[in-house]
């Protein structure tokens, strides 16, 4: 039979047990306080928090999770995270992949993912997930999925994107409209120049065909000094009027004499040589000579080209 401990030894043993018990109580109190702090943070956090085991089983969720997604805590705890449809199958696979990488220690916990989640009422919710590994005794026990509702931000980004696209579309439309307007303006300016040139040619030709021949005839009549002065002044004035317009007239056409211009004008009108001779009080031979000279000056000598057709083409 062993020796009984002495009173001093028993007292020492009791003292050690008491000290150990006090340490246990203190540790338990600290643990309780720590758990209370965690629970307070967990429940009152502004973010949605889901504590998910390594096998995907929901261990706990906070009130914010209930408020945002509409799933009560009692209905999700113990179920697999993907069973109540918060995430699409594709997004859940991404989440699982990240969780596995996180658990294996191949990625850092600060990596953030964006998901398109579905609330219990079918509402589309955009969330930002920042996963944290839960480690105990050096072993990963699960993942703390801290999520934030970024639906408002996503809507603003979408509105901004649409606004930017609308602005780009408006800029393209305005640019296209400006290009079309510039093209139309260039066409109008070109047409205006053509009309201007045609008008100048018509005025010059009419003066040379219809006015100058008569002035030449008038000069061959008996005029007194005053009349001749008036005639000279009239010719100078007409030349001053027509000189700015002459740049638009064919150089071949300007080489014709006033009488040749008059004959050419009647040819263009479809008059025969006999009709022209009668109108101008000239002989048929004279009209033929004028026609010959006109063809030569227009480069039609020894050619079968029709004089009237050619004159109409250069009008």
Is 191 within the bounds of a domain?
no
Number of domains in the chain: 3
Single out the residue of 163, 171, 314, 305 nearest to residue 253, CA to CA: 314
Give the mean model confidence (pLDDT) for residues 272-285: 87
| Residue 309 sits in the same domain as residue 203 | yes
| Residue 216 sits in the same domain as residue 141 | no
| Residue 267 sits in the same domain as residue 304 | yes
CATH number at residue 231: 1.10.10.10
Is 182 within the bounds of a domain?
no
Query: Based on C-alpha coordinates, what's the Rg of the chain?
Result: 54
| Residue 282 sits in the same domain as residue 230 | yes
54 vs 111, 127, 280, CA distance in Å? 18, 21, 117
Q: What is residue 37's predicted lDDT score, i.e. its pLDDT?
A: 62
| Residue pointed to by tokens 């009709």 | 275
CATH number at residue 62: 3.30.450.20
Q: What is residue 249's predicted lDDT score, i.e. its pLDDT?
A: 44
Is 4 within the bounds of a domain?
yes
Is 175 within the bounds of a domain?
no
Owning domain of residue 8:
1-36
The residues, ordered by sequence, that sit 6+ positions from 65 with a Cβ below 8 Å of its Cβ are 48, 49, 50, 71, 73, 147
pLDDT at 32 over 70: no
Is 167 within the bounds of a domain?
no
| Residue 64 sits in the same domain as residue 26 | no
Is 7 within the bounds of a domain?
yes
Is 171 within the bounds of a domain?
no
206: tokens are 């009419």
Q: Can you tell me the distance from the alpha carbon of 217 to that of 257, in angstroms, rounded to the nearest whole number?
A: 13
- Residue 112 φ then ψ, to 5°: -115, 135
Is 165 within the bounds of a domain?
no
The residues, ordered by sequence, that sit 6+ positions from 116 with a Cβ below 8 Å of its Cβ are 88, 91, 124, 125, 126, 127
Strands laid side by side in the 113-118 sheet: 58-61, 48-53, 139-149, 124-136, 113-118
pLDDT at 122 over 60: yes
pLDDT at 244 over 60: no
Q: What is residue 72's predicted lDDT score, i.e. its pLDDT?
A: 81
Give the mean model confidence (pLDDT) for residues 223-234: 77
| Residue 203 sits in the same domain as residue 309 | yes
Q: What is residue 251's predicted lDDT score, i.e. its pLDDT?
A: 47
Largest interatomic CA distance in the chain: 180
Q: What is residue 285's predicted lDDT score, i.e. its pLDDT?
A: 92
Q: What is residue 248's predicted lDDT score, i.e. its pLDDT?
A: 43
| Residue 91 sits in the same domain as residue 6 | no
Residue 95 near residue 87 (C-beta atoms within 8 A):
yes
pLDDT tens, position by position, 150-209: 888 888 888 888 988 888 888 888 888 888 888 888 888 877 777 776 776 777 777 777
| Residue 114 sits in the same domain as residue 56 | yes
Q: Where are the alpha helices (DSSP H) in the chain?
A: 7-44, 63-69, 73-76, 89-103, 151-206, 212-219, 225-242, 251-254, 258-268, 273-280, 284-297, 307-313
Q: What is residue 286's predicted lDDT score, i.e. its pLDDT?
A: 92
| Residue pointed to by tokens 């296209």 | 176
Between 51 and 201, the more confident residue is: 51
39 vs 33, 34, 60, 75, 245, CA distance in Å? 10, 8, 11, 19, 99
Q: Can you tell me the distance from the alpha carbon of 216 to that of 214, in angstroms, rounded to the nearest whole number?
A: 5
Q: What is residue 108's predicted lDDT score, i.e. its pLDDT?
A: 55
Least-confidence region, from 7-16, 55-64, 144-153: 7-16
């Amino acid at each position: 039979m062993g020796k009984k401990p002495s009173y001093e030894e028993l007292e020492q043993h009791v003292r050690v047990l008491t000290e150990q018990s006090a340490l246990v109580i203190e540790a338990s109190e600290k643990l309780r306080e720590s758990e209370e702090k965690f629970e307070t943070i967990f429940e009152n956090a502004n973010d949605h928090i889901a504590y998910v085991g390594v096998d995907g089983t929901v261990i706990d969720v906070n009130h914010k999770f209930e408020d945002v997604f509409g799933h009560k805590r009692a209905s999700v705890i113990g179920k697999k995270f993907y069973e109540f449809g918060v995430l699409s199958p594709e997004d859940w696979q991404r989440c699982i992949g990240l969780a596995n990488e996180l658990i294996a220690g191949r990625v850092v916990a600060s990596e953030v993912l964006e998901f398109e989640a579905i609330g219990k009422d079918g509402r589309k919710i955009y969330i930002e997930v920042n996963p944290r590994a839960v480690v105990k005794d050096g072993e990963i026990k699960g993942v703390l999925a801290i999520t934030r509702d970024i639906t408002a931000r996503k809507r603003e980004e979408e509105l901004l994107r649409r606004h930017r696209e609308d602005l780009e579309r408006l800029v393209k439309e305005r640019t296209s409209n400006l290009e079309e307007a510039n093209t139309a303006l260039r066409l109008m300016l070109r047409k205006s120049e053509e009309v201007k040139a045609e008008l100048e040619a018509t005025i010059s030709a009419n003066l040379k065909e219809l006015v100058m021949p008569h002035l030449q005839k008038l000069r061959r009549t008996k005029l007194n000094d005053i009349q001749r002065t008036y005639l000279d002044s009239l010719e100078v004035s007409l030349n001053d009027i027509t000189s700015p317009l002459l740049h638009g007239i064919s150089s071949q056409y300007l080489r014709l004499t006033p009488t040749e211009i008059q004959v050419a004008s009647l040819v263009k009108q479809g008059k025969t040589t006999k009709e022209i001779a009668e109108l101008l009080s000239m002989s048929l031979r004279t009209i033929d000579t004028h026609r010959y000279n006109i063809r030569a000056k227009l480069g039609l000598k020894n050619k079968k080209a029709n004089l009237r057709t050619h004159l109409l083409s250069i009008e």
